[in-house]
Structure 1
């Protein structure tokens, strides 16, 4: 006798197949639409920026120009948040001291606070000495030059973020202004000695950052990691290192981060750092002793002792970054607003509060929407970071900025941080091969496998170095082309 299949069972089986298809379609839709969410939110932000600019300018002459410049400034701020902030939070995320979501939240709050509370209130409108102020005398040409520089810098940073290369936003703006200035009045308008010092920073910044971070890692290796009793050594040295970190960041904040609220000299800043460092080290001794109780005598246990200081340092670096680099996004915008309202360029102009808010929110939106890619590259794909190595990178970044400010050396915070990451990576290669005498003979392996097994990923090194070298000329070329296009379209030659 032939058994007939139950119609109800066939129906349920068909329903299950349809539900699985629908589920797969939903997953594919979410996967393909996810990138569009960030772009959609960014577009909504730029529309809001344009509306805010229109409200504040009202029916004044040149309102449309300011609205366009504000949208471009917001676009620049988004790109700075996506690219530059990764240098501060990447090591903390890569070392697993904080999750990606936690890092985004901390950085967004600190970047915004730094920009609004301590952001620079004065900006050299003519690229801070890159172009002579008298060179761009025509107000309309000055406006188009600033707009071209802002758009070129933003487009270049956007491209660098897309390819996964952390670049200097300051150098992008400098290149943009230089290119527009050359297109407007010729090569004679450029302050070439200043450009020479900027070019020197391509070497000075990463070398100082890498050497300083490697030095800190050498101290930690010698005094803590390669000691027989790691926990006992950590109880002595970790409070000292935390005190040094606190003192360095207190000095950094006094010197660079809160200049809008109150200004300190270098000597006063160093004294503030000392007054913070010693009490903090003494205060942390019982805390570290309690944290270290019951920990096993191995390196994994040491990571827990460095986690909180690392997160704290990343937050402070984000605050300082918001205070200092927000001007890269809103400085040219403020110059355009001033030129439209006053009828020409000036040596220095105040940044209006609404312009500063655009820059602060743009940094945060750019970080949250597009920052994870660069954070992952900086934190985990250049070299493997743990809490101790990441601590060395963060501390090195602050120390080098302070020393460079004191000596008057042109440095880039981006180059210092990335140089610090490469520094700890190359130091580890050297230490394991030369000091510990570990056998790492990879000659029998294929080239691709030998490269993969290196502590530092060489592919990222070449990509980042190329992006650094190309930043100023690429932004300058793009800006010059945009300036000539604006002049041709508007007929203001």
Structure 2
């Protein structure tokens, strides 16, 4: 895929060629030659970061490299899944557009609230000097800012999530994808109605595993990938908590001027 990107004429091709043709030289970064090289690389790195997700071949990345252990594992998973006629899958391709829109709405309805909550509390307490003001309604502009930042993250780095949540768990098709998206969307919307924060990624993972099990065999689900996802979810809380606690400890104990 990188070889194809290098041949493109647009900004992405220019950025890839710039990074390839301007490698960092020997010595420290403050060497004059390296500083000149870095000045050329920074715009290219920014361009790659912003546009790489648009050009990523998600279909090729989902199945794994042929001949590798992962590729062979996914071939066994796909072989255990029942295949439906192309006419049926083509019909569901239109339905999947509707379920994808529903899942997108559900994602915004819940995840925006999850992310804006801490920020709104901190901003309200800081701007007013009153901790009780943190209970005030969240301004619309804060919701808009968080929506834009989440969308930016999905555009620039969301391909990694799609790569894992795609065919690396079970066999996908329009009929299966419609069920996965609608199942996750309904779950998120129900919890949103009761003002309960949930993870959209966890909901879609559960829906994906559930659809895979509907094939009637455990072999149709890549439980190694599911186990890695569960491990990452469990590890997220203690790791993030430890890092946050360490940073807060550094801030509280850093030298400061007395008032």
Q: Give the TM-score of the pair, scaled to structure 2.
A: 0.63
Q: Which has the higher contact order (CA 8 A, sep 6+)?
A: 1
- The residue number in structure 1 matching 2:140 is 353
Structure 2 gap ranges (5+):
1-5, 8-12, 21-40, 60-81
- The residue number in structure 1 matching 2:169 is 382
Could you tell me how far apart the structure 2 residues matched to 1:488 and 1:464 are?
Answer: 36
Deviation at residue 409 of structure 1 after TM alignment = 8.1
CA RMSD of aligned residues (A): 3.7
Could you tell me how far apart the structure 2 residues matched to 1:343 and 1:393 are?
Answer: 45
Deviation at residue 343 of structure 1 after TM alignment = 1.0
Deviation at residue 419 of structure 1 after TM alignment = 0.9
Name the SS of the counterpart of 1:428 in structure 2: coil
Could you tell me how far apart the structure 1 residues matched to 2:245 and 2:257 are?
Answer: 15
Aligned length: 199
Q: 2:97 aligns with which of 311, 322, 334?
A: 311
- The residue number in structure 1 matching 2:151 is 364
Is the 1:38–1:369 contact (alpha carbons within 8 Å) kept by the matching residues of 2?
Answer: no
Deviation at residue 403 of structure 1 after TM alignment = 5.5
- The residue number in structure 2 matching 1:116 is none
Deviation at residue 404 of structure 1 after TM alignment = 5.4
Q: 1:303 to 1:405 in 2, by over 3 A?
A: same
Could you tell me how far apart the structure 2 residues matched to 1:27 and 1:402 are?
Answer: 41
- The residue number in structure 1 matching 2:178 is 391
Is the 1:334–1:349 contact (alpha carbons within 8 Å) kept by the matching residues of 2?
Answer: no
Could you tell me how far apart the structure 2 residues matched to 1:318 and 1:407 are?
Answer: 19
Is the 1:382–1:457 contact (alpha carbons within 8 Å) kept by the matching residues of 2?
Answer: yes
Note the alpha carbon deviations across 1:258-315, whole angstroms, 9 max, x for none: xxxxxxxxxxxxxxxxxxxxxxxxxxxxxxxxxxxxxxxx611101111111111111
Could you tell me how far apart the structure 1 residues matched to 2:163 and 2:45 are?
Answer: 17
- The residue number in structure 2 matching 1:422 is 209
Q: 1:335 aligns with which of 121, 124, 129?
A: 121
Q: 1:395 to 1:488 in 2, by over 3 A?
A: same
Deviation at residue 28 of structure 1 after TM alignment = 6.0
Note the alpha carbon deviations across 1:355-401, whole angstroms, 9 max, x for none: 22221111111111111121122122211101111111122223334
- The residue number in structure 1 matching 2:247 is 482
- The residue number in structure 1 matching 2:72 is none
Could you tell me how far apart the structure 2 residues matched to 1:377 and 1:358 are?
Answer: 27
Is the 2:184–2:204 contact (alpha carbons within 8 Å) kept by the matching residues of 1?
Answer: yes
Deviation at residue 469 of structure 1 after TM alignment = 1.4
Name the SS of the counterpart of 1:382 in structure 2: coil
Q: 1:465 aligns with which of 218, 230, 234?
A: 230
- The residue number in structure 2 matching 1:373 is 160
Judge which range, 421-430 or 476-485, deviates more: 421-430
Q: 1:318 to 1:404 in 2, by over 3 A?
A: closer
Q: Give the TM-score of the pair, scaled to structure 1.
A: 0.35
Q: Does 1:300 align with 2:86?
A: yes
Could you tell me how far apart the structure 2 residues matched to 1:328 and 1:472 are?
Answer: 15
